[in-house]
Amino acid sequence: MRLEFPEGGEDYRLSMVGSPPNTNETAAHPVILSRSDHGVSRKQIDESTLKVLYRLHRHGYQAYLVGGSVRDLLLGRKPKDFDIGTDATPQQVKKLFRNCFLVGRRFRLAHVRFGRDEVIEVATFRRHPHPDELPDDPEEHSFFVQNQFGTPREDAFRRDFTINALFYNIADFSIIDYVGGLKDLENRQLRVIGDPRVRFDEDPVRMMRALEFSARLDFSLDAETLARITEKAPLISEAASARVREELMELFRHGVGAAVLKRAQDLGLMQPMMGGYQPGESTFKLLELLNQSFKKSGHVDESMILAALFIDRFWHKCPAQSALPINEVLHSAGHLLTPYCTHFRLAHGLRHQAREMLVGCYRFTRGLGHRGQKRFLQNPAAARAFELFRLWNQAIDGDPEQLEVWQKALHRGPDQASHAEPQASRRTHHRPRRRRPKKPATV
């Protein structure tokens, strides 16, 4: 990607990147790329998004495409969604659109709906408050900070990374850059806006997002950001577990789960992020294979990710050669998963599915001809357990013949599987004999 910068653009970037979010930047001028200097076209923007942008503009409001969508368009990628920034307040946006609903208590947003599924998010430009503006009650600070309306420049400096703070102005189709994001896009580098120490203190999840964007976009992380992630890693244990869990799922939806978690482990971020979790010998190789499988199917299975995270530790507890009773294997698998599930408040159904996959892998490793085989093969969960077993076997360079035997058994069905259950393990059921009613005694 090659971008043309106006005269003085590089000097602007060097002076602004690395400034703290509260810096008074009123004297600086943004880098502005006119329509002829960039490749973003309105044809690449969703039709409903354009309707919202144009209506805001016609009524005298600033209307910008903001955030990751501008970044992706400049990189030639298809945005997942389009977000809009404006100087109109949420109430003013609502007056313009009958199909608008205001959401959020702390961070008030306008959602403009088209049809049943399409939602365009419209956010009012915000700014960091000055210390003397904060209310006396500390408990009210968060609500106050999130809802201080500001200018586009102030809004840009509130964002996390320079490449996510670019604006597309519908008024003249220009790209506006207040923080040096255009140059970082050209250099394929990810930078935090402001001091990384301060930004990670504000929101520890930004450390995880930095690794995610670096992996997704194949961008380098500057040395200072990497050093501050290592320094501030313990802070992520204070983040809301539900939010961290959602970020973890995003990694796998974007196909970078294995790469990001491996780097998080190297930087000391993985254990505090995942409640003290320790990876096993095949964890990252197995997660990479899972990523490839999810990409082919188009579906991310959280229960399979959960089972994959713990399968190495499961083998230490339940070696296939131990011939443990299945009830004991079930108990060990459930006990192993419980702390992680409790930390992230996962539903019991997820834990149950992951446990059944681990127990299924135990049955597959143990081989054919064991008691309960027919019932196991009849269970719909057997196919999912076999998929995990297949990927694990591939991760450790296991025995392909064992896979082939079970593949044939699953294909043929339980009644035709080779090496069926031993005769001794089968039970013969008889209908109970009906007893004749006793005749009344004769007198």
- Enter the tokens of residue 29: 């001028």
- Enter the tokens of residue 172: 């003249």
Q: Which pTM does this prediction carry? A: 0.81
> Which of the 8 DSSP states describes residue 33?
E
> Which of the 8 DSSP states describes residue 319?
-
Question: Nearest Cα to 390, choosing from 376, 380, 404, 379?
Answer: 404
Residues 111, 102: Cα–Cα separation, whole Å: 6
Q: What is the CATH number of domain 195-278?
A: 1.10.110.30
- Enter the tokens of residue 317: 């507890």
- Enter the tokens of residue 351: 């834990």
Residues 44, 46: Cα–Cα separation, whole Å: 7
Q: Where in the chain is the domain with CATH 1.10.110.30?
A: 195-278
Q: What is residue 180's three-state secondary structure?
A: coil
Crossing angle of helices 302-317 and 381-395, in 10° steps, is: 60
**Beta-bridge partner residues of 174:** 169
Give whole-number Cα distances, 42 to 51, 53, 75, 80, 94, in Å. 11, 11, 15, 16, 24
Question: Nearest Cα to 144, choosing from 100, 111, 105?
Answer: 105
Q: How many CA atoms lie within 13 A of 191 on its CB side?
A: 25
Q: How many CA atoms lie within 13 A of 76 on its CB side?
A: 4
Instruction: Give me the sign of the Cα torsion angle 51, 56, 58, 63.
Output: negative
Would you write out the chain's pLDDT as a tens digit for each of its 443 residues?
555 544 444 443 333 333 344 444 443 689 999 999 999 999 999 999 999 999 999 999 999 999 899 999 999 999 989 999 999 999 999 999 999 999 987 778 999 999 888 999 999 999 876 655 544 455 544 444 556 788 999 999 999 999 999 999 999 999 999 999 999 999 999 999 999 999 999 899 999 999 999 999 999 998 999 999 999 999 999 999 999 999 999 999 999 999 999 999 999 999 999 999 999 999 999 999 999 999 998 899 999 999 999 999 999 999 988 888 999 999 999 999 999 999 999 999 999 999 999 999 998 888 777 777 778 887 888 889 999 999 999 999 988 888 888 888 777 655 544 444 444 344 445 566 666 666 665 54
CA 102-108-113 angle, 5° bins: 35
Residues 119, 83: Cα–Cα separation, whole Å: 10
Q: Where in the chain is the domain with CATH 3.30.460.10?
A: 1-192
- Are 328 and 357 contacting, i.e. CB atoms less than 8 angstroms apart? no
Q: State in words which class domain 1-192 has.
A: alpha beta
Provide φ and ψ at 227, rounded to 5°: -65, -40
Distance of CA 64 to the CA centre of its chain: 26
- Enter the tokens of residue 77: 């990628």
- Enter the tokens of residue 111: 């959602």
Residues 71, 19: Cα–Cα separation, whole Å: 21
Q: How many CA atoms lie within 13 A of 209 on its CB side?
A: 18
**Contact partners, residue 324, CB within 8 Å, separation at least 6:** 318, 332
Q: What is residue 106's three-state secondary structure?
A: coil
Residues 315, 85: Cα–Cα separation, whole Å: 51
Catalytic residue list: 81, 83, 160
Residues 160, 31: Cα–Cα separation, whole Å: 19
**Contact partners, residue 176, CB within 8 Å, separation at least 6:** 30, 31, 32, 64, 152, 166, 167, 168, 169
Report the 10 Å Cβ neighbour count for 293: 17
What DSSP assignment string belongs to 332-389?
A: HHHHHHHHHHHHHT--HHHHHHHHHHHHHHHHHHH-SS-TTHHHHHHSTHHHHHHHHH
